[in-house]
Amino acid sequence: MSENQFLTKIMDSHVKVFQNNSNIREDAMRSNLSRLNYLAITTIVIHSVMLLQIWFTEVTPELTLWRSGLLVSHIILISYMVFIFIVTLQNRHNDEFSRWLDLLSIMTSIVVLGVGTSISILDQMVMTSITPLIIACITAGTVILMRPIYSFVVFGFTYFFYFYLLGWIVLDETILLSNRINGFSIIGVGLLLSIIFWRYYYKTTVQKKFIEKQRQQLELMAYNDSLTTLPNRRYFDELLKREITAIKENNHVSAILMLDIDDFKQINDNYGHPAGDKVLMEFSNLLSDTIRTNDIVARFGGEEFIILMPNISAKDSFIHAEKLRQAIQNHVIFVKNDTLTITASFGVVQLDKQNQKFDELYHSLDRALSVAKENGKNRVVLSNE
């Protein structure tokens, strides 16, 4: 890799953080709901204690404005956090997020930074410390998730607000310059923290989504047939176990159908394997469209398919199998400018409390299917075993 390619790769990885990031928007809002809820609780408790301390503290007349300003600032912050607590509590189990919840996070950052800045400005009447601004910047930068473009706007506006009001309160040019420089550094650190935490959240969330997607794909490969996309035998076996358990608990009866495409080898020999694959895909689609909504069809292997029919008697399952056989017989498949009609043979076995062992079930199905093949194919045979 050349130096230019390396630099381009690094720039691309950083630019992605500043893009829309809409693919993780809901994840960020969900995380922010929880973060804002905890922030609201913590802020209400801490600032209520601070409010009481200020309220019961006697000050000299010249500090009355400072005391009143602090009281108003804390009351505003506590009131806003009570509102945030109620909103987050009401929406914590909500799976659908509207745009205003996204704006709520930005507004909370503005309020936290605004109150922190205001208290720091008011404190200049009695001291030169800007500790409230430091706490506000760290809180907004680490607790609340914001896209970097919003962080630039919010923290930039905060510094403008701080820079302008500080000039009104601090008359000493040396202290004014020092506090403005310190404020710029603190707000810059807050902005940097916000970007770092967003980048970390973005990368971990995207990675989790990728891992989850890979897991789903692997699960799909493990439980689905790659050609027809139907469930495979492995999935069907697990489904059958659950159905057997349900029969034991509810004392109902079900049925299993096994069907095999008649003379499928001739299709492969006469038209080629791609044509055979097309027949299998159309055949699987036909089965899926014809069975009942609560039935499950799976590819058992080769040209064999199997269907689980819950809550159905042996007689009714035989009738449904006959309808399915006729639908297959009447279906036309176009292959290489030719039309094909295919048939299938069926074996049907009832699934009840007495008939629940895997080996015995599959053996009964095989026997019924073999009888159907031996008696001329294109027919349904109900197992008597």
Query: Domains of the chain: which residue ranges?
Result: 3-218, 233-382
Q: What are residue 260's phi and psi, to 5 degrees?
A: -135, 130
In the Cβ-directed half-sphere of 155, how many Cα atoms lie within 13 Å?
29
Distance of CA 184 to the CA centre of its chain: 39
* Paired strand residues for 348: 257, 382
Write down the pTM of the prediction.
0.62
| Pair type for strands 344-351 and 380-382 | parallel
Residue 298, C-beta contacts closer than 8 angstroms, at least 6 positions apart = 225, 230, 231, 232, 233, 235, 236, 239, 305, 306, 307, 308
Q: Would you say 39 and 140 are in contact if contact means Cβ atoms under 8 Å apart? A: no
Place of tokens 């493990």: 222
Question: CA-CA distance, 158 to 176, in Å (whole number)?
Answer: 17
Place of tokens 């936290």: 112
Q: Would you say 257 and 312 are in contact if contact means Cβ atoms under 8 Å apart? A: no
What is the structure's pLDDT at 379? 95
What is the structure's pLDDT at 95? 62
Distance of CA 89 to the CA centre of its chain: 21
Place of tokens 């040019």: 173
DSSP string, 101-119: HHHHHHHHHHHHHHHHHHH
For the chain, give the mean pLDDT: 88
In the Cβ-directed half-sphere of 57, how many Cα atoms lie within 13 Å?
15
Helix axes 131-142, 173-223, angle to 10 degrees: 20
- Give tens-digit pLDDT for 170-209: 888 999 999 999 999 999 999 999 999 999 999 998 888 8
| Token representation of residue 154 | 């919010």
- Give tens-digit pLDDT for 260-282: 999 999 999 999 999 999 999 99
Other residues' Cβ atoms within 10 Å of the Cβ of residue 339: 8
Q: Would you say 154 and 109 are in contact if contact means Cβ atoms under 8 Å apart? A: yes
Residue 365 has pLDDT above 70, yes or no: yes
Question: CA-CA distance, 251 to 248, in Å (whole number)?
Answer: 6
Q: Which comes out higher in pLDDT, residue 78 or 250? A: 78
Residue 111 has pLDDT above 90, yes or no: yes
Q: Which long-range contacts (CB under 8 A, 24 or more apart) does 93-102 make?
A: 97/26, 97/29, 97/30, 101/29, 101/32, 101/33, 102/25, 102/28, 102/29
* CATH of segment(s) 233-382: 3.30.70.270
What is the structure's pLDDT at 8? 47
Residue 220 has pLDDT above 70, yes or no: no
Q: Coil, strand, or helix at residue 268?
A: helix
Q: pLDDT class for 385, splitting at 50, 70, 90?
A: low
Q: For the chain, what percent of residues have pLDDT higher than 90?
A: 64
